[in-house]
């Protein structure tokens, strides 16, 4: 039994799998992420016990919102879950369940879910951009039988704006104008409920700036979008392609796709890490 976990800023998902394939899913649990680490940890332990159904666990992989330490054992910074920073999450779970546990950034996991299991799996160079509570992107490049991952903090590209403060503390990051967190804060608490197309039109302009920079710098073979802001908003999905076309010059615009994995993209990415890195199971 393999356990894959996605700890997001809003929700946590825990899924058990018989094998290293998404088709072998056994049980899926989803619950609100507790902002307090101790309570959040207890909820995760309970969910793992439920999802594993009393069977032995070969390995646990965790997708986590925030920056991850080089040894993949703890989160080193997070604007959305500060209580989780530098907590021994991996060591505690490893001791609790007597198995191998590892941790990775959620944007990397989201991209690897598409790289390992999606329509463009194994493509030479893939770009994945998450637009959800926050923003993030990764470039994944095929290298022989392995791969390389490059983080791209597209949400923290600076633009000319009206001096809005981003969650990172900087002024006028794109994330301060186009992420679910910033839109929800400015227009009523839940970005998904915003129905004013003028608001979305402006947000898409900023999202296209991030996308155009990503394409111009890295020349990916495909750009895949994920996250609730774009997956659940038909207007944004329709308009983003035209905006990117208007902003990119001098380089080929790759196919623009929407992730088919929905809110399971992070947890599928955690499973992808186990599949792509078999040495992690030893």
Same domain, 158 and 176: yes
Secondary-structure percent of the chain, ordered helix, strand, coil, rounded to 5: 45, 25, 30
The parent domain of residue 232 ranges over: 120-259
Same domain, 139 and 234: yes
Same domain, 163 and 76: no
Predicted local distance difference test score (pLDDT) of residue 65: 85
pLDDT tens-digit series, residues 147-187: 999 988 888 888 888 888 887 888 989 988 888 888 888 88
**CATH number where 104 lies:** 3.30.420.40
Predicted local distance difference test score (pLDDT) of residue 279: 65
Q: What is the mean pLDDT of the chain?
A: 91
Predicted local distance difference test score (pLDDT) of residue 115: 95
Q: Is residue 105 part of a domain?
A: yes
pLDDT tens-digit series, residues 38-75: 999 999 999 999 999 999 999 999 999 888 999 999 99
Predicted local distance difference test score (pLDDT) of residue 128: 96
CA-CA distance, 38 to 97, in Å (whole number)?
Answer: 17
pLDDT band, residue 282 (cuts 50/70/90): low
Q: Output the pTM of the full model.
A: 0.89
As a whole number, mean pLDDT of residues 98-118 equals 94
**CA 116 to mean position of chain CA atoms:** 15
- Residue 53 CB-density burial (10 A; 0-12 exposed, 13-18 middle, 19+ buried): exposed
Three-class secondary structure of residue 186 per DSSP:
helix
């Amino acid at each position: 039994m393999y356990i894959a976990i996605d700890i997001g800023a809003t929700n946590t998902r825990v899924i058990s799998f018989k094998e290293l394939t998404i088709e072998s899913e056994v049980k899926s649990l989803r619950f609100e992420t507790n902002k307090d680490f101790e309570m959040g940890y207890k909820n995760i332990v309970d969910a793992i016990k439920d999802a594993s159904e009393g069977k032995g666990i070969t390995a646990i992989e965790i997708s986590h919102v925030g920056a991850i330490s080089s040894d993949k054992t703890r989160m080193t910074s997070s604007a959305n879950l500060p209580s989780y920073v530098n907590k021994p999450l991996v060591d505690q779970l490893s001791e609790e369940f007597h198995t191998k546990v590892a941790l990775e950034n959620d944007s990397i996991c989201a991209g690897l879910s598409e790289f390992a299991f999606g329509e463009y799996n194994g493509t030479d160079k893939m770009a994945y951009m998450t637009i959800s509570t926050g923003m993030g992107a990764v470039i994944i490049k095929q290298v022989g039988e392995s791969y390389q991952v490059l983080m791209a903090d597209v949400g923290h590209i600076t633009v000319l704006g009206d001096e809005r403060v981003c969650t990172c503390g900087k002024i006028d990051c794109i994330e301060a104008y186009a992420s679910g967190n910033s839109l929800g804060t400015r227009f009523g608490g839940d970005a998904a409920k915003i129905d004013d197309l003028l608001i979305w039109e402006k947000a898409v302009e900023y999202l296209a700036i991030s996308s155009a920079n990503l394409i111009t710098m890295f020349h990916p073979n495909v750009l895949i979008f994920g996250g609730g802001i774009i997956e659940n908003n038909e207007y944004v999905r329709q308009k983003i392609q035209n905006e990117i076309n208007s902003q990119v010059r001098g380089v080929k615009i790759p196919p623009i796709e929407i992730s088919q994995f929905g809110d399971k993209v992070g947890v599928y990415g955690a499973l992808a890490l186990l599949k792509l890195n078999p040495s992690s199971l030893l």
